[in-house]
Each structure stands twice: as structure tokens, then as C-alpha cells.
Amino acid sequence: MSEPTGGVVLMSAVRAIGSWPFFKEGDLMSDADSLVLDSLEQQQTEVVFGLVGAVGTDLARLETFLDEGLQRFNYTPSVIRVTSLLDTFDVSQLGVPLASAPENERILTRIKAGNGLRRLSKRNDIFALYAAQQILVRRPEPVSSEEPDLRPHWRTAHVVHSLKHPEEVRTLRRLYGPGFFLIGVYSPESLRLRNLVDRYLMTEEQARQLIRQDENEKEGHGQHARDTFELSDVFIPMTGNEETPRTSSSVFSTSSSVLPGRHRPRRSTPCSWPSPRRCARGVWPGRWARSSPAPRVT
């Protein structure tokens, strides 16, 4: 069976989301409270973790830690890389040929293609819709043709790697309600520069250009990693000194508290980009009262 084209993927995502019974017709962006998945059995159903971190952050290492912790809680991890959507499109429509090498050009062209896709679709949440479509197609097949294909995975945690625009976060929160959590991964700029230079053989200037473009582009359809990071529910510092067994425990001791049926919000210092001193392991109470700023701990 051939791979679906990007247009087919996008339309199937929108149709699937629009057909779900907890949405009013044409009401994808309505109030989040009306879109919470009340019908889900919160104790043992699937959850969705979104990852956000600046370019050069070792998100793959955090994925490893999360996988270990999830399996200890008898959850099966399922990784969704949203940039895979670009591979399903005829990128000539976006006016940006995707480079495969060198690494700085590969990343830059994918950033530009992502911006073009948001602009073309007129949706800054297009990659979130793709993630939702991937979650849907990975769910079990219906028992009968009359049964809606809406059953969530049993004890599955989808790890969405990675989000770059606030609208992506807002859409996933509306879709999955209390089953979605955004993990902000902090890594100091010096370490991110070293990762980009040493691992991908970039010059320091090329690495700095990537970091600047990733954080906050002026274009509305561009990447806004800084603004997205500030919406995180959980903040995890990755400073390069982590040991897998110990860090897995500390990372997932925080993450486990947000699994359905386990969430206990607690006070924590809000995490400001990019100061590591204000990155706290914990749940930001602002997740539950988004109109108010997160409280400071004195």
C-alpha cells in the first residue's frame, strides 16, 4: 500500500477530528472545557506528552528516560515525530527543497518548509493535527464496521516530538483535555551550541543562526519555541550531567504525577526561558488556571 500524500493526511486528520462525538460541528477551536474527553476512563487510558525544547537540546535522551519510566508504570510509549508530515508532501508546493546534508541546511530547510506549510494551510496548529491523526490511526481497529474507531489505546503514552508553536499546544489541550501534558526541556545555550558543533560538525556561527531562528521568528507562521516553552506543564533541566538510571527516576517521578488518576498539582517556580535557575521540576499550577500567571515561590 502506497504512502498517503500530505494532502490526504491533512484532510483525513481534519475529517477525523471533526467527526469525533465530543466536538460540535466546526467547533475545533471552541472553549477547552467543552472538549475534555469526559468519556475516557482516566485511570488506564492513553495519555499524550508533548515535548518542547530549543534546537540543540538532546530530546532523544529525554525520550529514553521517559520510555524507561513509562514502562515501569506499565505504559507503552509511542513516539510521534511531527516533522514526518513534511515527508508526505510535495515540498515543491512550499517553495523549499528539503536538504539532507549538511545538518545545518537540513534543519534550516525543514524550519522553512514547516513555516511554509503553516502559511499554505492557514493553520499554525497543522503539526498538532498531524499528531492527532497519527494517534487515531494507531488506535485498535474497530471490532465491527458499525463501531466508531474512537477507542483509545490501553495504557499507551504518545510522545509528540516536538512542538514549536503555541497554537499546536492549544489544539492538543482542546483535543485531549487533562490527558495532554507539555514537557519543557531546558538545556543551557552553551551545551546546545556544543551539541550542534560537535555532533553535526557545524561552525559556531551556523549553530547560533539556527538557535536564533528556532527561538522566536517574527513571522506569525514561523517557529515560536520560546512562547511554546512558556506554556509547559512540567519543566525538565537537561544539563549534560544526567545518568540514565537516576535521571529516569527523577524525570518520571515528576511525569508519573500527571498520569491520569495520579495528577496532584503542586507549587513550583515558573520556568523562564532561558534561565536554568528558574527551571523547576514540577507541575506549573498555571496549567489549571491559565488566565493567571504562575505564582512565585519565595
pLDDT of residue 281: 38
Decide if pLDDT at 67 tops 60. yes
Confidence of residue 8 (pLDDT cuts 50, 70, 90): very low
DSSP 271-296: --TT-GGG--SSB-GGGT-TTSPPPP
pLDDT of residue 124: 95
Share above pLDDT 90 across residues of the chain, in percent, rounded to a whole number: 35
Stretch 34-44: mean pLDDT: 40
Average pLDDT score over the chain: 72
pLDDT of residue 166: 95
Decide if pLDDT at 225 tops 70. yes
Task: Report d(CA 198, CA 180) in Å as an integer.
Answer: 34
For residues 129 and 145, the model is more confident at 129
The pTM is what? Answer: 0.72
pLDDT of residue 157: 92
Largest CA distance in the chain: 59
Decide if pLDDT at 259 tops 80. no
Say if residues 117 and 87 touch (Cβ distance below 8 Å): no
CA distances from 10 to 7, 141, 168, 293 (A): 5, 20, 14, 35
Q: What is the domain partition of the chain in residue ranges?
A: 39-287
Which CATH number is 39-287's, of 3.40.50.300, 3.20.20.70, 3.40.50.620, 3.40.50.720? 3.40.50.300
Confidence of residue 97 (pLDDT cuts 50, 70, 90): confident
Per-residue pLDDT reduced to its tens digit, 193-220:
999 999 988 999 999 988 888 876 777 7
Per-residue pLDDT reduced to its tens digit, 162-175:
899 999 999 999 99
Per-residue pLDDT reduced to its tens digit, 269-279:
344 454 444 44
What letter represents residue 170's amino acid? Answer: R
Confidence of residue 85 (pLDDT cuts 50, 70, 90): very high
